[in-house]
């Protein structure tokens, strides 16, 4: 009887440690994502022209769209 209980403990403790590691990874990933989202939100400030130049440099808009929007911004 004692051997069976001891054998069960030996078989299950690695699984509990693996479960704790998995939970720590999940919590760490969630914290990292929140911190990353907060830093991107706070770092996105700047003028509209800077933002437009950034979008053009990243390839989000083409040269024609960039010129149109830049002209519109400078009129205001």
Per the prediction, the chain carries an average pLDDT of 83
DSSP H helices, 43-76, are: 48-57, 63-75
Residue 28: predicted pLDDT: 97
Task: Name the nearest CA neighbour of 30 among 38, 18, 42.
Answer: 38
Residue 34: predicted pLDDT: 92
pLDDT digits (tens, 9 = 90+) for 47-67: 888 899 999 999 999 999 999
Residue 67: predicted pLDDT: 95
Using a cut of 0.85, tell me whether the model's pTM lies above it.
no
Residue 68: predicted pLDDT: 95
Q: Kindly state the tokens that stand for 27.
A: 């919590």
């Amino acid at each position: 009887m004692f051997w069976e209980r001891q054998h069960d403990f030996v078989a299950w403790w690695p699984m509990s440690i693996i479960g704790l590691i998995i939970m720590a990874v999940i919590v760490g990933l969630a914290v990292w994502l929140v911190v990353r989202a907060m830093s991107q939100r706070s770092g996105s400030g700047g003028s509209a022209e800077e933002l437009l130049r950034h979008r053009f440099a990243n390839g989000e808009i083409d040269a024609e769209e960039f010129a149109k929007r830049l002209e519109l911004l400078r009129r205001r």
